[in-house]
């Protein structure tokens, strides 16, 4: 169905959709959602891990989850147990998550790229008692100088060719029944995940996310468009939040969840076409790929985009003939804002939309009071299913809430029609000659150049102006500075940014250090650099320093 055909289909008005979503009760727990889907469409394919060839129907999945739940209970895992899971994108990961949900245990997903230092921190801080780990990660595990916390050899399970000293996760299901009765009741507000955020400095914080959190975000994304998406794709690792809610969104739709082993911008559209995907999150790097004759040959109805340059949104829709809508979410609060699918007049506006169902939003100034319409302040949110706090960090939890409202740390403004616009992170601002410059805005403009893959704007101390803007850029593979010299970059910035926001310094980079969730680690990028001006083109002096 083409974009025009999709938009011609009438759906209830946004407020009516919101009312219906909020009025219908959530399933009593995650297991109940799986049960309902298996009862309705037992023979429907529930997921397809297409690179490993792992598929399963809803009826088979329910039996597999139940057998594993019986096995882990027999092994000693119970309601409230903290279980670390360090697996790549294979079916064992969501099967494990769903089995833990059955008994009310707590999953702590761990990035497979963690070093021994990072593993030790998460195991210690998260009070991990049990560990499910892939054979590919055993080398990192071996680098631990001790077993942190309550971890012991008998509490470590491997997926793959198990090492002799550990137990096999796969054999836990052997001989177990395909029916399961939880030893203790499991409710919506029972803790499901401790999801570690990837802070750019220091160690991350563990977000305490309940079963209500996951069922809310899955339901909101499933029904807020008033449409059904039967084929949903997630290419990012399951240890991030997005694939987890995308899976539950798929369950609500009784559809099929498709997963790649790892993200690939060059193969992304091949996957979309091969599996006839209807909904996915669309990485901006895919748009940076060279145009292909089959770009419009897809069955996507809608994609979510995050932080996409507003200058390219219309071009993205035209190139791929699908609907692209901005959204704003975060680990702590789930789905926060979204642009309605029918809001065609907002394409290219740069707005993140309006509050999602179950969410109220307000913008607060430095004085702690709501700002005037159009003014900039901190976005705050409230509603059911927000994080319960940061694990073992009462100070951070207290700082994150303002009289029941969650403080996002993001600067926003709201227009006269109620649409919200992100300005930047409170702590990611550059203060130049009394003007606040959002690094996010500068970066978005730079990424508007097709030759630039990634960009990072950082402050440079300056005696006259307090701070100047420096922009690091990563060019498309095969390109060099001579193909996109600083003068061209600056001319583009001049045409798209107020003069005071235009970077003074331009530097080229082969790649950026990243946080575990893939964000640019600016602190690492600039640490141990005595003079940030060096190695840069200076716009004011017209020369390289």
Q: Half-sphere exposure of 489 toward its Cβ, with a 13 Å CA cutoff?
A: 31
> What sections of 170-283 are H helices per DSSP?
211-223, 241-253, 268-274
Contacts 24+ apart (CB under 8 A), 285-293: 285/453, 287/312, 287/316, 287/319, 288/450, 288/453, 288/476, 289/265, 291/319
Structure tokens at 1: 């169905």
Interhelix angle 241-253/92-103, rounded to 10 degrees, is 80
Half-sphere exposure (CA, 13 Å, Cβ side) for 344? Answer: 9
Q: Hey, what CATH topology would domain 429-544 get?
A: GMP Synthetase; Chain A, domain 3 (3.30.300)
Structure tokens at 312: 């390219």
378 near 407, Cβ under 8 Å?
yes
CB 263, CB 236: distance < 8 Å: yes
Contacts of 126 (CB under 8 A, 6+ apart): 82, 84, 108, 194, 196, 206, 391
pLDDT of the residue at 200:
43
Q: What are the 10-residue block averages of pLDDT along the chain, 545 residues in total?
A: 84 94 98 98 98 96 98 97 97 98 98 86 94 94 87 93 81 94 97 82 82 98 95 93 97 97 92 97 90 96 90 94 96 96 95 97 95 96 97 95 95 97 87 83 91 94 90 95 96 88 95 82 86 94 92
- Helix, strand, or coil (residue 221): helix
Answer whether 141's CB lies under 8 Å from 119's CB: yes
Nearest to 436 by CA among 377, 524, 521: 377
Q: For the chain, what is the radius of gyration of the CA atoms?
A: 24
Nearest to 227 by CA among 37, 53, 6: 6
What are the start-end ranges of the H helices in 369-460? 394-400, 439-447
pTM of the entire predicted model = 0.86
In degrees rounded to 5, what are phi and psi of residue 133?
A: -135, 145
Report yes or no: 159 and 132 within 8 Å, Cβ to Cβ: yes
Record the tokens describing residue 55, joined without a space.
């598929």
31 CB-near residues (< 8 Å, 6+ apart)? 65, 98, 101, 102, 182, 186
Q: Which of 376, 125, 90, 385 is nearest to 259 (CA)?
A: 90
Q: Both tokens of residue 85?
A: 């899971």
Distinct helix (H) and strand (E) counts, the chain? 16, 28
The pLDDT assigned to 198 comes to 63
Inter-helix orientation angle 241-253/211-223, to 10°: 60
Q: Which two tokens stand for residue 294?
A: 């089959």
Q: Where are the domains of the chain?
A: 429-544
* 3-state SS class at 234: strand
The residue length of the chain stands at 545
Q: Which residue is listed with tokens 């892939």?
A: 134
């Amino acid at each position: 169905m083409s974009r025009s055909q999709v938009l011609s289909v009438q759906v209830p008005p946004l407020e009516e959709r919101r009312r219906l979503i909020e009025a219908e009760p959530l399933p009593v727990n995650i297991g109940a959602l799986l049960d309902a889907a298996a009862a309705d469409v037992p023979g429907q394919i529930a997921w397809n891990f297409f690179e490993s060839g792992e598929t399963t129907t809803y009826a088979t999945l329910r039996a597999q989850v139940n057998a594993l739940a019986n096995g882990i209970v027999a092994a000693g895992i119970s309601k409230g147990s903290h279980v670390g899971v360090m697996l790549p994108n294979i079916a064992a990961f969501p099967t494990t998550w769903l089995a833990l949900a059955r008994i009310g245990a707590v999953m702590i997903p761990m990035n497979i790229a963690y070093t021994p230092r990072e593993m030790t921190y998460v195991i210690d801080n998260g009070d991990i008692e049990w560990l499910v780990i892939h054979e590919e990660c055993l080398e990192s595990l071996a680098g631990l100088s001790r077993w942190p916390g309550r971890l012991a050899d008998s509490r470590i399970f491997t997926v793959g060719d198990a090492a002799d000293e550990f137990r096999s996760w796969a054999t836990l299901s052997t001989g177990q029944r395909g029916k399961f009765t939880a030893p203790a009741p499991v409710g919506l507000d029972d803790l499901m995940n401790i999801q570690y955020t990837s802070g750019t400095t220091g160690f991350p914080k563990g977000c305490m996310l309940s079963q209500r959190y996951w069922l809310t975000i899955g339901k909101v994304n499933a029904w807020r468009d008033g449409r059904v998406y039967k084929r949903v794709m997630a290419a990012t690792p399951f240890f991030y939040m997005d694939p987890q809610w995308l899976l539950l969104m798929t369950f609500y739709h009784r559809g099929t969840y498709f997963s790649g082993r790892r993200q690939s911008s060059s193969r992304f559209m091949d996957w979309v076409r091969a599996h006839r995907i209807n909904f996915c999150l669309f990485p901006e790097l895919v748009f940076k790929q060279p145009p292909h004759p089959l770009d419009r040959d897809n069955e996507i109805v809608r994609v979510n985009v995050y932080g996409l340059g507003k200058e390219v949104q219309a071009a993205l829709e035209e190139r791929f003939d699908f609907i692209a809508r901005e959204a704003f979410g975060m680990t702590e609060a789930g789905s926060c804002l979204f642009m309605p699918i029918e809001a065609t007049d907002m394409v290219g506006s740069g707005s993140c939309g309006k509050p999602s169902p179950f969410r109220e939003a307000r913008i607060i100034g430095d004085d702690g009071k709501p700002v005037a319409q159009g003014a900039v302040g901190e976005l705050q949110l409230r509603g059911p299913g927000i994080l319960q706090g940061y694990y073992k960090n009462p100070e951070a939890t207290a700082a994150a809430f303002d009289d029941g409202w969650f403080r996002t740390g993001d600067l926003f403004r709201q227009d006269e029609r109620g649409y919200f616009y992100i300005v930047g992170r409170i702590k990611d601002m550059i203060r130049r000659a009394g003007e606040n410059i959002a690094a996010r805005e500068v970066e978005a403009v730079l990424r508007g150049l097709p030759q630039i893959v990634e960009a990072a704007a950082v402050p440079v101390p300056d005696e006259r102006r307090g701070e100047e803007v420096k922009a690091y850029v990563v060019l498309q593979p095969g390109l060099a500075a001579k193909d996109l010299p600083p003068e061209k970059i600056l001319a583009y910035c001049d045409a798209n940014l107020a003069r005071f926001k235009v970077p003074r310094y331009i530097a080229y980079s082969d790649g950026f250090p990243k946080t575990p969730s893939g964000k640019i680690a600016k602190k690492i990028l600039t640490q141990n650099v005595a003079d940030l001006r060096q190695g840069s083109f200076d716009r004011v002096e017209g020369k390289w320093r």
